[in-house]
Chains A and B, each alone.
Chain A
Amino acid sequence: MMNAPRLTRRDFTAGLGGIVLAFSLSPLALTQQPPRLPGSLQTNRMLSAWLAINADGTATIFTGKVELGQGILTALAQVAAEELDLPLARVRIISGDTGRTPNEGQTAGSQSIENSGTALRHAGAEVRAILLDLAAQKFSVPADSLKVADGVITAADGRKVSYGELAKEADLKREATGKVAPKPSAQHRLVGQSSPRVDLPAKVTGGAAFVQDLRLPGMVHGRIARPPQYGARLEAFDEAKIRAMPGVVAVVRDGSFVGVAAEREEQAIKAVEALSASAKWKAGPQLPDPARLYEHLKTMPTQDTVISNKDAPLLASGAKVVEATYRRPFQAHASLGPSCAVAQLRDGQLTVWTHSQGVYPLRGTMAQALGMKPPSIRCIHMEGAGCYGHNGADDVALDAALLARATNGRPVRVQWMRAEEFMWEPYGPAMVMEARGAVADGRIVDWSYDVWSQSHNMRPGDPDGINLLSSWYLADPKPPGPARQAGAPNFAGDRNAIPTYDLPRQKITHHLIKDSPLRTSALRTLGGYANVFAVESFMDELAAAAGVDPVAFRLAHSKDPRERAVIEAAAKAANWKPGEKGNGVRGLGIAYARYKTIATYNAVVAEVEVDRDSGRIRVPRIWNAVDAGLIINPDGLINQIEGGIIQSASWSLYEHVRFDRDGIKSRDWATYPIMRMPDVPKIETVLLNRPNDPALGAGEASQGPTAAAIANAFAAATGRRLRELPFDPARVKAVLA
């Protein structure tokens, strides 16, 4: 298991002689319709794009998906090793490198298992079949008479040949057929096992594990002097003074972008502090009044889309009508480690080491921002701190590249400062959700739902704009792309706005706010967190109006057996007692969602304790049940689900970006507090394995249900309802007053 990537200088610099390998689509006759291939094989069709068999008996997998702390590389290695019949330790991994791996876009949306995992599963099965055919020819026996174990093929008469010995003959430069069936789940020996993470040994011993740890020969340190607020313009600064400071190698100004490179990291920081102190800025536009934020959001220009409209005659007259408005503030990714990148420009070739979620989209957008051709840029993924979506990772890559143009070939490492990360990262958008429903005879007879939100996807890769922070501040500024409607099946601000319940009438409308008063983009789940908070809170409000227990009410509106199974399993784990009332300070609440309405099922029961004097809510315990289809790695699945629960509990109890008319005021962990160890709930997770169903990603399944389960538990405990996030003491006291 010690095949954690060991990052040495040799590895970092090896193969960087400017050779960029292009993975073109296979040559297909234009008239011929190519067969549909599974997962990302559809768009990267060559077997050699995914797998190599090496002479030393190892296999190398190439994936466009990247490790974000979610354990994906371990899971993908398990999938490939399973199909190849290799031990896990003999699978090497190359991920997210525009010079070496397939283009799989962004590592986002909980789709890595579905896309990359499916591709590797089928490619692995096909490569194994190719190796078996070679052995069959060698031994002049039928391929189906051969056995494989640990990368050694054995004939019935005992003759053996290893994958390593066949490596040279195995021609993988061919298009996948998609016709070799992967193993049935009953034969799995690695898939379904809690294989330990391949990256942890380095992380617990101080091995080079992160892009932050990259040290190249001659490397200098860069920092950027950010404007004091969005849109401020640099008028002047004392350039001569900064250039004369100790260790300063370069001062780069391009319009209102200004940064420093210095020999030592602390010298770069001091120089940028001095630069900022001497800089004069022309103020940018004012931000909305935070006291009227939600009213303001609803008055902004929107693009409105009815995403679901199901009409049926009203079943009952005299139905009870319920209306509620829910609100979610701007919330930050708040990665523990500020964003970092290293860039080197040599002989017209730019190499960027980055923790971007999408090295190909980043390359394309950086090329536009820098006026370069994409083949002149190579983006290589290295891990950063957990990102939970689109944080500063891409932005800092451009920052490093802008400085690297002024350092005569010396690599530049830029890490953002803490305040910079909080002030400039794109936030998860503030949202307003309005629900109106009616119940009669214990059932929902009408449901309408409107959600207002800024864009949740302002990532690099937009065809009509440059979604990289510093490009907006250059002398020739290149603005960001427009807010876009994402649409089915994944949606964005309207993700999970359509309930999965069986409802006779429903109308769901997404109001996409076109402006960006605060910078926003993808935060884990996109709109799923807020929509599930609203939908599942509203389900409880309707259940209360109908006088039905929340678990029974959900089951009464569910026809999907997998949905029913997770709700029942979570309720059972929590020892849910129908009709049980809270005692004013303690209560249980349940909530459920199928992520994106097409992926992982998760039901969550939360227990809350309310301190009515201080307004403080504690969540001592959470129970949940999850169905993510075929489970690749049970412990990895639990880690993702429980991590999502804890992060959502933190979002829901504590987190909102503070700002006033003049700018962002959340600048550190004191002004953006998150959950700490003593407040973290104990969690019990029930896994419902579905070995014959496709494996689904689970990094975003539990956040929405957790928020609603806490709100529902609070309502059960106190009889009052929290409809605005976060549930901080002031809001709790106001609701209880």
Chain B
Amino acid sequence: MAINVKVNGATRAVNAEPDAPLLYVLRNDFELNAAKFGCGLSQCGACTVLIDGVPTRSCVTLLSSVGQSEVTTLEGLGTLAKLHPLQQAFIDEQAAQCGYCTNGMIMAAKAFLDSNPRPTEAQVRDGLAANLCRCGSHNRIVRAVLRASQSNGRI
């Protein structure tokens, strides 16, 4: 049964069960690599996407629940040729080690900055508290989010 999903501005069809987690559809059917499987339990944040602008754990989001909502993945924020200010800031601050949490950090930061465009450092830390990083890149990630919040580009 084909189900339509709006992803990064396009409507795409997928043959999957309605109870398929959105994460696997994004990764395996739409070949969007950014969202990662980390826990499947909504605990770590590696799979974060935006659904109508709201940061959402795609590992526990059923395909059937997406409906007409707009799904935005990291690929939808910017590209290598035209980086989003957050992506640029993560490169400028070298804000990763392994990079497995990076997708979730950027997507959570995007939603966070949309509602808090000029945050303090403490607010950034609280805003990303639900996203886990295991390599210890936290302080760089905070600096990258603060840098992006100070850039003139769209956030």
> A: which residues have CB within 8 A of B?
2, 68-71, 194, 196-197, 199-210, 212-213, 215, 221, 246, 264-266, 334-338, 383-386, 388, 415, 417-418, 635, 639-640, 642-647, 650, 668-670, 674-678, 680, 682-683
Given A264-B24, A336-B44, A639:B97 Cβ within 8 A: yes
Q: State how many angstroms separate the Cβ of A158 from the closest Cβ of chain B.
A: 38
User: What is the chain A residue whose CB lies nearest that of B102?
Assistant: A203
Q: Does B4 contact A (CB under 8 A)?
A: no
Q: Report A-chain residues with C-beta under 8 Å of the C-beta of B132.
A: 336, 669, 674, 676
Is A197 in contact with B138, judged by CB distance below 8 angstroms? Answer: no
- Docked Cα-Cα span, A386 to B134, in Å, equals 8
Q: State how many angstroms separate the Cβ of B79 from the closest Cβ of chain A.
A: 6
Given A206-B32, A207-B80, A215-B28, A266:B129 Cβ within 8 A: no
User: What is the chain B residue whose CB lies nearest that of A643?
Assistant: B136
Q: Does B151 contact A (CB under 8 A)?
A: no
A338 contacts which of B37, B99, B101, B138 (Cβ < 8 Å)? B37
Given A385-B98, A643-B135, A418:B91 Cβ within 8 A: no
Interface string of B98-126 (1 = CB under 8 A from A): 11111100100000000000000010111
Most buried by A among B19, B28, B141: B28
Q: Within B1-19, which residues are at the interface with A (CB < 8 Å)?
A: 16-17, 19
User: What is the chain B residue whose CB lies nearest that of A648?
Assistant: B136
- Docked Cα-Cα span, A227 to B106, in Å, equals 37
Is B90 in contact with A209, judged by CB distance below 8 angstroms? Answer: no
Q: Report A-chain residues with C-beta under 8 Å of the C-beta of B34.
A: 205-206
- Docked Cα-Cα span, A197 to B97, in Å, equals 9
Main secondary structure of the interface of B (DSSP, over half): loop
Is A336 in contact with B16, judged by CB distance below 8 angstroms? Answer: no
Q: Report B-chain residues with C-beta under 8 Å of the C-beta of A213.
A: 27, 33
For the complex of A and B, 9 pairs with smallest distance between CB atoms: A69-B98, A646-B136, A206-B34, A643-B136, A386-B98, A203-B99, A385-B100, A206-B75, A69-B97
A646 contacts which of B101, B124, B138 (Cβ < 8 Å)? B138
Q: Report A-chain residues with C-beta under 8 Å of the C-beta of B46.
A: 336-337
Q: Report B-chain residues with C-beta under 8 Å of the C-beta of A337.
A: 36-38, 46, 100
- Docked Cα-Cα span, A691 to B141, in Å, equals 30
Q: Does B146 contact A (CB under 8 A)?
A: no
A266 contacts which of B21, B90, B133 (Cβ < 8 Å)? B21
- Other 12 A-B pairs with CB < 8 A, given A204-B99, A643-B97: A200-B90, A202-B80, A204-B90, A266-B16, A335-B134, A336-B44, A337-B38, A338-B37, A385-B100, A386-B134, A647-B135, A668-B43
Given A215-B28, A677-B128, A201:B91 Cβ within 8 A: yes
Q: Mind listing 30 A-B residue pairs with CB under 8 Å?
A: A69-B97, A69-B99, A194-B94, A203-B102, A204-B87, A204-B91, A205-B87, A206-B33, A207-B80, A212-B37, A336-B133, A337-B38, A386-B97, A386-B98, A386-B100, A386-B135, A388-B134, A415-B37, A418-B39, A643-B137, A647-B134, A668-B39, A669-B39, A676-B132, A677-B128, A677-B129, A677-B133, A677-B142, A678-B125, A683-B139
